Structure 1
């Protein structure tokens, strides 16, 4: 053999061995690096304001378990949401982008937004960089299950009172007109108890308790506080505890990013009686409310008749609540506040269960814990009971971060920060790349890492802005950022500018309740102009192309696609009266359920199994697609999970969650 050729072969073999060795070493380093990164536990509540011990919201609140976290982490006392209503707030927080950056100010699907669908969510970014991402409950408002490796339970707003059909109603103890004005969600509060034949005011039928997600609800059995089915929040806590205990027994596993989303204290404020007993009604203290406090405010000037949640819903709730108790304002507010305090206490117990599982395990010293809420809630201040205002009660949220080895135990930070800062903070703490975009259509994070403030809460060198920015949700308006309403919360001031150019200015250092609007006081003109300029400089002023359809119209189109039979006059169009009439029939359960078209039947061969959420699923051997079994065949299939069986099953494709199919299934042995 030619010597040159022989040398080439030996050299080539050496290079291959060297490269393989480098690959092994590099892989080991990467695995070690990933394994040494801290875990993340994100706990979110819904509609939780500052009614948390040490945050000063209500003097009688009892949250001993959240207080444990306060003592072992850093509390941000001036943390604010970026928009005070569920869907856009959660989209903003979990993607780290302001609403004015994305144009998401409403309830459209976040994953259809051009910016958000081309940017990574927090959990997707962690998953991309070696984390096991798992979640349960309400983290984003909807459509986020595919962002996780594993997801537990869907959002469950229950318990609901029910009249024995498809119609959920307000709690049996809620009087009219409140129960009729605001229904099973916002019009419902009271203890969970044994119904004992209690009957509906409207139909005379016996009440039952129900719970579950919007698509699939089930009856909730209740005999007593100690003998009942678990609520949705309790199921989420139990799921999280099981997962934490599993991870504690798996040293060397990849790090996890876990999200746990609780619904309470979102309405309906229905929790077991034991939590109401902790707050006797006669002893409930009311917040400081000044008569006529709403007279120098301007939120009502941007309301719209077609815009319920985004207009003056809080004023309507306040008026209806008081009218329902015969005009007894203090009594009505005490009833509602008692239910809210009870709901917060119920969540606190569940937070305690999760912290017990974490802190009594080896995971404690290597797990970052974040506790927060999507926005706050008003309790009668400015004659307003609701979220979605630009005042302190709606924008302020509790934010607590415990980062072992970094955060100061019991630290308190008074600087204004916001929810968009959580994403970059976790990236910084976990050593992940800061680039979170999928392509050029995405946007880099708007927030700033809070890590410097964790080690030095009062004097940390933070690069963020001097004011927290919050936008106002408007259902019926076009989502041009320049046409929205905004607030800037500085350390000692709040500035509000509504989309019609009306303004409010509060010196919060001397006026913490925001009682006195100084916007028209000439003594504060210079400050007003400075804050106005700061806000307008931050918001894009160039008009955006206006959509031709409002959210209402898009929602109606989607309803028509799903229910074409709602077109009563068969003119090929769906009017609002037709939609409302058909929806009433749906709620009452009087419409025939559309049967799957026989042409939709598929022939599939594969296996049955159950996922982490205990859903029965079928995996098609040929396509690899996964289907959820959604009809009553589950009991029939259950004994055959590992045995062959032929069935005709009604299923839902997991990847879309939209189309229902009849599938002729031949299962295989596993």
Structure 2
């Protein structure tokens, strides 16, 4: 009798599993999902007003077609842990990955640099590619999506192409990297990624499609064809806005040390990256770096535009959902800091655009705090498939459906005991030594004034600290 019951249960389970596939194939409202991830792109896109000279016509046009989330953040401000979070739907405290390289800097004290610190981290969680494969999607992924090669077994993979180097001159930046190149777009990596993506998009299939496409620029090295540099004449470059006073003066010592570090590297000791740039050529060298970054942004916008144009026609007759974001922000001298690897708004804030036919209202701007850990459950909701139980993020579908819906906070980590909590208006950064920074983004969007020691904000600060402790200890 036990064997009969066991066989019956297996048969029922198999039928239910099979029926879920049949439903997915016959559903007239099937969605093709396109997830685009850009490397090292901060908010310097026209739609977000991050820099007055940026040229991003394709990203700006995409934003007008759907919802632009202006308070979106990575969960960890480095490539590896950030991508791990959106691929698995887990916070760094559950993936155990906080940094690209777990190297202890002098200001990092007793907190662990790797390993899960949450109470019940899931074992072997499925990444969203594998989950969609199990839900009868055709799954393809190309360019830089994972930090390295994507491990999931999927229908088609395309590794990030190698770069070609043919520089117009011998000038190099502080990292020894050349800039303008004597090549056309067809020889560049992101162009090749776009062409692969276009081909995969036009491949017909009875199954709905999940695509993840990773574009590499504006990640270093700042090498793109000369035509993109020419759009930003060096003499006209505007530097990032910084205060006339010392922006580090009101930071705790921990924050000052973080500002002077560069992703756990002391490349130009005793100078910081910013000090070395100024040492090499003063503001002219700083302008060259900004010019290079702007050129790379315009280049990658052009390559993404090639792909976005193709997405306007769906060869499978399905609705097309597009989510585009970046893996983290990037500093170019704000707080005398460069690159990523810090918990200020400029290093965690990212573009986040969602276009979903029948759900998103064109030209909507949403200021609720969301983060990358929300991507996985959102993809599932848009596809109409069940969400795995291990997910720690929340789908943003309610925010898309109701522009008045609210979110309490987003949580961002640079180590298990360095945590930023971002609400709709405020950010509190808590460091492992007990010090912190508090900013009012409504009054101070560039975070020039640390309110942590201001008695008028004592009650708010206490509430934010409680949020941090609750997050870190669960």
* TM-score computed with the length of structure 2 as normaliser: 0.86
CA contact (8 A) 1:262 1:347 kept: yes
Which of 213, 223, 248 is 1:260 aligned to?
Answer: 213
2:463 maps to 1:530? yes
2:399 maps to 1:453? yes
1:402-433 per-position Cα deviation (integer Å, ceiling 9, x unaligned): 11111111111011111111111111111111
2:201 maps to 1:244? yes
CA contact (8 A) 1:428 1:451 kept: yes
Separation in 1 of the partners of 2:439 and 2:178? 33
CA contact (8 A) 2:436 2:452 kept: yes
2:460 maps to 1:498? no
- How far is 1:502 from its partner? 1.3
Query: In the alignment, what sits opposite 2:190?
Result: 233
Separation in 1 of the partners of 2:67 and 2:301? 18
2:383 maps to 1:430? yes
Query: In the alignment, what sits opposite 1:191?
Result: 180
Separation in 2 of the partners of 1:508 and 1:407? 26
CA contact (8 A) 2:94 2:122 kept: no
Helix, strand or coil at the partner of 2:211: strand
Structure 1 pair 368/28, CA: closer, same or farther in 2 (3 Å)? Answer: closer
Separation in 1 of the partners of 2:363 and 2:127? 30
Separation in 1 of the partners of 2:237 and 2:20? 60
Query: In the alignment, what sits opposite 1:297?
Result: 251
* TM-score computed with the length of structure 1 as normaliser: 0.62
Structure 1 pair 456/505, CA: closer, same or farther in 2 (3 Å)? Answer: same
Separation in 2 of the partners of 1:394 and 1:309? 12
CA contact (8 A) 2:21 2:135 kept: no
- How far is 1:456 from its partner? 2.7
Q: Structure 2 matches for 1:251-650, cutoff 5 A?
A: 253-290=206-243, 291-298=245-252, 300=254, 309-310=263-264, 316-325=272-281, 328-329=282-283, 331-362=284-315, 366-435=319-388, 444-457=390-403, 459-460=404-405, 464=407, 466-472=408-414, 481=416, 484-540=417-473
Query: In the alignment, what sits opposite 1:201?
Result: none
Separation in 2 of the partners of 1:79 and 1:508? 14
How many aligned positions are there?
Answer: 441
Query: Larger deviation: 27-36 or 352-361?
Result: 27-36
Structure 1 pair 369/82, CA: closer, same or farther in 2 (3 Å)? Answer: same
Query: In the alignment, what sits opposite 1:662?
Result: none
Structure 1 pair 365/58, CA: closer, same or farther in 2 (3 Å)? Answer: farther
Structure 1 pair 497/31, CA: closer, same or farther in 2 (3 Å)? Answer: closer
Q: Structure 2 matches for 1:41-80, cutoff 5 A?
A: 41-80=34-73
Query: In the alignment, what sits opposite 1:567?
Result: none
Separation in 1 of the partners of 2:344 and 2:267? 15
- How far is 1:117 from its partner? 5.9
Structure 1 pair 339/296, CA: closer, same or farther in 2 (3 Å)? Answer: same
Runs of 5+ unmatched residues, structure 1: 1-18, 163-170, 194-223, 437-443, 474-480, 542-670
Using CA pairs under 8 Å that are at least 6 residues apart, name the structure with larger relative contact order, 1 or 2. 2
1:270-305 per-position Cα deviation (integer Å, ceiling 9, x unaligned): 10011111111122122210141022224756859x
Structure 1 pair 531/159, CA: closer, same or farther in 2 (3 Å)? Answer: farther
Please tell me whether Structure 1 or Structure 2 has the larger radius of gyration of its CA atoms: 1
Structure 1 pair 489/267, CA: closer, same or farther in 2 (3 Å)? Answer: same
Query: In the alignment, what sits opposite 1:104?
Result: 97
Query: In the alignment, what sits opposite 1:130?
Result: 136
CA contact (8 A) 2:218 2:296 kept: yes
1:634-661 per-position Cα deviation (integer Å, ceiling 9, x unaligned): xxxxxxxxxxxxxxxxxxxxxxxxxxxx
Structure 1 pair 116/274, CA: closer, same or farther in 2 (3 Å)? Answer: farther
CA contact (8 A) 2:325 2:351 kept: yes
RMSD (CA atoms): 2.9
